[in-house]
Structure 1
């Protein structure tokens, strides 16, 4: 039990340290990216931190398996370099017993990842989507700023709203101006004025639209007489979302796991198997890390870090491809074929040397018996 406690404590300490470092790096990068969206007006600044907090479980469910993987490599690599593994082996700790000790840490992380992927992450995604999609509060995504002209570099639109109702989110006295390239050369100017405007959300697709009411739209090339004037009672235009922005998370990720279990849609079935796959990866990558951590004091504890990380990255990419294939109509076997492949690889790396030595010993005995 002392050996188990010693190894588990060492592995979990390295896992926490690595996971915290990765979380800080990823969280900081995303925060800076989303802060840029808030700076250009695509996101209200007062909901940035709450949304990032609700997205935190989604980061952790991917970081923790990698943190355990690298934590085992670092912890056991130190034990091999300092010859502690040699002492453990001399005391009767076989590879199977060492794998059992390692799986204790892996099962703890697996339970945490399962809790995150099946319950906490969908709940956080739903809460963040509710904040992002609510146009009727001061925390909604307002595309116009009240009382001032606003220029957006992403689409070149100059916008103005005299007043925005804080309760309903309705914008009054709306002005929009946009320049674009004319077909025959030059610049085409489009100006839209409306008495009211509002952000509406398509509940089916999740797309946002700017709906204007009771206004006019003028379009033409400055200096020319050919202008087009359109009077409208209701005019809607889709608001483009920046690729990879804060709203780029698929809406199916906000669906509760119980709803996915009852669904027959390929996209939702793929999301369900993705959530189930994340905990399954934990014991598999733990056994792979255990096998790849074998080293000595001459090679050092970091000698296999790069190939091990590449192997983990390929695992994650294959799971992502399996999810895309399942969304296009493939069966769930594509997911579990990837797990079976890496599970077989983990067992092969763990027992490959033992089986090879036994085969050579059996062959040597056969040759000796034949010569006798």
Structure 2
């Protein structure tokens, strides 16, 4: 019991320290990049740390297993270098038994890794994409120049005059292309095929909390034009309100696959949502494989941390990290191949079985080789 508490506290503390170091290093690079974008006027400084926070689960998904593996290597390497492992083995506790003492911690971290992969990462990337959308729309209005057209998606905006502080616009022309109106409607709907042309004497703009930019148009006319028949309809208005962003009902088609929630991925695989099914299966299999990396970390660290007397605790650290990172890269590479349809989604299970077999070989090959040599030395008939 005392040994279990000691090992668990040492591994947990070291994991936290290594994780903190890797998080600071990786997010520090990302923060510098965001500061550069903000310095160029492409990002509001007020959302920098929000973006960093929302991107944190994306980094944790990969660096949490690596941090656990490195901490195991450091803790067991110190036991070997300080000859504490020899004392533990002499007391009747084998290396495998030490690994079993860390199973509760490994399972806890595997559950945390599963939560990050299935819940936290999609949520964080979804929120980050919303912030980027808001910032991109804000940039559109920052780019408004008098008597020039600017474009945002399928919208084209012309402004004749700009008031002070950009609170009011004058002589506004808005061209809304047909395919933007066809969202969530059938292509056979004739009204969905019409372009829209809006003239307004003045307008005011408002940036909503959900990322949509709202225009309040005054004293103008609205035309609906059918490009095929060249027929049009028109209506005058004293005030007219519209938004310049696409509706969010079809967001699953626009988001990166990493930002799609796990229930939505399941719906895509079932065919309920219109999206690349192979891409959804690849992402779901990838998320399911990540918790297993915690188990592999525990299985691989035990034999790879073994050092002979006077070899030093750092001798095998770098080669062991390369071996573990190579295992992780196998899982990552499968995602691209499954997305392109080159491999079935069952390749994840095959890879996990092969990596587990490799970890078992690392743990027991010395014992197997010793038994084979012992059997060869036995005389015939015994």
TM norm structure 1: 0.70
Give the alignment of 1:1-372 within 5 angstroms: 1-134=1-134, 141-143=138-140, 145=142, 163=162, 172=169, 251-264=256-269, 265-329=277-341, 330-364=343-377, 366=378, 369-370=379-380
Shift of 1:83: 1.0
Alpha-carbon distance change, 165 to 315 in structure 1, aligned in 2, over 3 angstroms: farther
The question of whether the paired residues in 2 share the 8 Å contact of 1:172 and 1:196 is answered with no
Question: Residue 225 of structure 1 aligns with which residue?
Answer: none
Report if aligned partners of 2:55, 2:128 keep a CA contact under 8 Å in 1.
yes
Distance 1:114 1:23 in 2: 18
Compute the displacement of 1:69 (Å): 0.6
> Conserved in 2, the CA contact under 8 Å of 1:44 and 1:140?
no
Deviation (angstroms), 1:46: 2.2
Runs of 4+ in 1 over 6 A off after TM superposition: 146-149, 200-204
User: Secondary structure of the equivalent of 2:139?
Assistant: coil
Give the 3 Å change call, closer, same or farther, for CA 296–148 of structure 1 in structure 2: farther
Superposed displacement of residue 320, structure 1: 1.7
* Deviations, residues 228-275 of structure 1 (Å, cap 9, x unaligned): xxxxx99xxxxxxxxxxxxxx961212111121232211111111111
CA contact (8 A) 1:54 1:128 kept: yes
Q: Distance in 2 between matches of 1:289 and 1:250?
A: 37
Conserved? CA contact 2:38–2:45, under 8 Å: yes
Tell me if structure 2 keeps the 8 A contact 1:41–1:143. Answer: no
User: Is contact 1:11-1:71 (8 Å) kept?
Assistant: yes
What CA distance in whole angstroms lies between the structure 2 residues aligned with 1:201 and 1:23?
43
Give me the whole-angstrom Cα distance separating, in 1, the residues matched to 2:183 and 2:45.
24
Name stretches of at least 5 consecutive residues in structure 2 with no aligned partner: 147-157, 185-196, 200-223, 226-253, 270-276
Structure-1 separation of matches of 2:65 and 2:181: 36
Gaps of 5+ in 1: 150-159, 175-193, 205-212, 216-232, 235-248
Q: Deviations over 1:166-199 (max 9, x none)?
A: 9xx999579xxxxxxxxxxxxxxxxxxx85699x
| Inter-CA distance 89–197: structure 2 relative to 1 (3 Å threshold) | farther
* Cα distance in 1 for residues equivalent to 2:257 and 2:356: 28
Partner Cα separation in structure 2 for residue 55 and residue 91 of structure 1? 47
SS at match of 1:270: helix
| Residue matched to 1:241 | none
Contact in 2 for aligned 1:83/1:296 (Cα 8 Å): no
Of 295-304 and 39-48, the range deviating more from structure 2: 39-48
Flag the 1:37–1:94 CA change in 2: closer, same or farther, 3 A.
Answer: same
Cα displacement string for residues 84-119 of structure 1 (whole angstroms, at most 9, x for unaligned residues): 111111111123312212333221211111111111
Q: Using the TM superposition, give the Cα deviation of residue 295 of structure 1 relative to its aligned residue in structure 2, in angstroms.
A: 0.9
| Contact 1:173/1:196 (<8 A) preserved | no
Which residue pairs with 1:177 in the alignment?
none
Question: 1:300–1:38: structure 2 CA closer, same or farther, 3 Å change rule?
Answer: same
Distance (whole Å) between structure 2 residues aligned to residue 164 and residue 141 of structure 1: 17
The 3 A distance-change label for structure 1 pair 173 and 14 is farther
Measured in 1, the distance between the counterparts of 2:91 and 2:181 equals 66
SS in 2 for 1:326: helix
Kindly state the Cα deviation for residue 316 of structure 1 after the two structures are TM-superposed: 2.1
Contact 2:65 2:294 in 1 (8 A): yes
Using the alignment, how far apart are the partners of 2:91 and 2:102 within structure 1?
17
* Mapped partners of 2:23, 2:97: distance in 1: 32
Q: Provide the rounded CA distance (Å) in 2 between the counterparts of 1:79 and 1:164.
A: 72
Distance 2:52 2:278 in 1: 28
1:31-51: per-residue Cα shift (whole Å, max 9, x none)?
111221222233232222111
The 8 Å contact of residues 291 and 349 in structure 1, kept in 2 or not, is answered as yes
Q: CA RMSD in A?
A: 3.7
Contact 2:4 2:101 (8 Å CA) reproduced: yes
